[in-house]
Each structure stands twice: as structure tokens, then as C-alpha cells.
């Protein structure tokens, strides 16, 4: 049983979207930049993409969870801490250790990654509108939890080297939390969240195993 009603849940999004405008546009531009950098590589492409992901997780943890969602759900303080921790992990691994290498390819895992990215940015809000929600109360790309997590899974599938498992723990945890809550809250666009977590972890684990096998031969 959730400690808030469906109406309260969407009222928070409406208030949040109004308060942060035009951050939603900035987030879309950042997502577009990350996608462009996959195809137009530069010396700092990997660091910029990692920085974009870290910024989205940090913003969502602080601005959404701690400042808005916590008004109806005290668990949001814990969620905010987890999102902020994930932001720090992405910044550390991607910016300081430089262990994230992104790149486009024709491999099936990459196409699934692109599909997740496009779903988070384009299809996600359309599903919400079709489900009967007003645009003003929809979870927005790059600044709310579920689209951020789906986008992150998509970008991690678009890496060309093994992804540190540390970066998968919190996203898969949220995919379980958000994916299960989507049914109770009547948010059909979040149904893919659970699937994206399971599929991403399986594909990344399989790719890593193939890379290990290939390097040992």
C-alpha cells in the first residue's frame, strides 16, 4: 500500500514541472548531445556523456526526490540519497577513472540501447498522453526518475567496453521499485522500466562474458 494517492502523485509532478521550467528543455538538449556524441566522436565524448548522465541523476535525486516527492513520501529521502550516490559513481567512473567508453555499432545490444534512449526521450511522454495524463503532470525526460533510469540503461548498452558492475546496482534497484509501482500508480509508460533493467543487465553480462572468452583464446 502506497502512502499517497494517485492524484497526489501526479500533483507533485505538476508542481515540479512548473517550478523547474525550462529545465526540461535543457535536459532534452543534453540527451540529444549525448546521442550525437555517439556518432560524432571527439576527444572528450566519453567524459561529456558520463557527465550528462551524472548531472541527470544528481538533479533528479536532489530537485525531484528531496525537494518535491518527499512532501508525500518520506522514503524519497532515501531515494534521493541513492540517486545522488549514483551520480557520484558515474562521475567517478566516467570522469576520473575514464572507464566508460561509448560508441555506436551495428550489434543488437547497441540497437536495443538506441531503442531505450528514444523510448525515454520521445515515446515515454507520448504513452503518458495516450493514457490520459495531461502533459503538465507527466514525468519529464532527464529530470524525473524513471525516464532517467531507462535512458541510462540505453546509454550503458551503447558502451563498447565492459561497464563496471557498480554502476548497475542502483539503476536495477530502481527498475524494480519503479516498475512494480507503475501498476499501482497507473503509469503505463513505466512498464518498460522493469523490462529495461532485466534486459540491460543480461545483455551487458553476456557481452562481458564474450569479451573475456575472446581475450583468453
pLDDT band with cut points at 50, 70 and 90 for residue 216 = low
Asked if 189 contacts 128 with a C-beta cutoff of 8 angstroms, the reply is yes
pLDDT band with cut points at 50, 70 and 90 for residue 215 = low
Phi and psi at residue 119, in whole multiples of 5°?
-65, -50
Q: What is the DSSP string of 156-182?
A: HHTBSSPPPTHHHHHHHHHHHHHHHHH
Hey, what's the cell of 166? 557498480
Segment 76-82 shows an average pLDDT of 97
Tell me: cis bond preceding 22? Omega within 30 of 0 counts.
Answer: yes
CA 37 to chain centre: 18
Count of C-beta atoms within a 10 Å radius of residue 81: 14
Looking at residue 212, what is its pLDDT?
67
* Helices and strands in the chain: count of H runs, count of E runs: 9, 0
CA distance linking residue 113 with residue 45, whole number of Å: 17
149-198 pLDDT, tens digit per residue, is: 999 999 999 999 999 999 999 999 999 998 888 877 888 999 999 899 99
Reported pTM? 0.95
DSSP H or E stretch at residue 214? helix 191-216
Looking at residue 214, what is its pLDDT?
62
Hey, what's the cell of 2? 502506497
Amino acid at each position: 500500500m502506497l502512502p499517497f494517492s494517485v492524484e497526489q502523485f501526479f500533483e507533485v509532478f505538476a508542481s515540479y514541472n512548473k517550478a523547474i521550467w525550462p529545465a526540461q528543455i535543457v535536459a532534452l538538449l543534453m540527451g540529444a548531445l549525448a546521442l550525437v556524441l555517439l556518432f560524432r566522436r571527439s576527444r572528450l565524448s566519453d567524459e561529456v556523456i558520463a557527465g550528462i548522465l551524472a548531472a541527470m541523476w544528481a538533479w533528479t535525486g536532489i530537485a525531484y526526490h528531496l525537494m518535491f516527492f518527499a512532501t508525500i513520501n518520506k522514503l524519497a529521502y532515501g531515494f534521493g540519497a541513492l540517486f545522488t550516490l549514483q551520480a557520484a559513481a558515474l562521475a567517478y567512473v566516467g570522469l576520473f577513472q575514464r572507464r566508460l567508453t561509448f560508441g555506436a555499432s551495428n550489434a543488437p545490444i547497441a540497437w536495443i540501447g538506441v531503442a531505450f534512449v528514444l523510448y525515454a526521450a520521445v515515446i515515454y511522454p507520448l504513452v503518458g498522453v495516450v493514457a490520459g495524463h495531461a502533459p503538465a503532470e507527466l514525468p519529464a525526460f532527464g529530470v524525473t526518475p524513471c525516464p532517467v533510469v531507462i535512458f541510462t540503461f540505453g546509454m550503458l548498452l551503447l558502451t563498447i567496453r565492459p561497464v563496471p558492475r557498480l554502476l548497475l546496482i542502483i539503476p536495477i534497484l530502481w527498475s524494480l521499485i519503479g516498475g512494480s509501482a507503475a501498476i499501482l500508480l497507473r503509469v503505463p509508460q513505466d512498464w518498460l522500466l522493469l523490462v529495461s533493467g532485466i534486459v540491460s543487465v543480461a545483455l551487458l553480462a553476456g557481452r562481458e562474458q564474450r569479451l573475456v572468452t575472446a581475450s583468453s583464446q
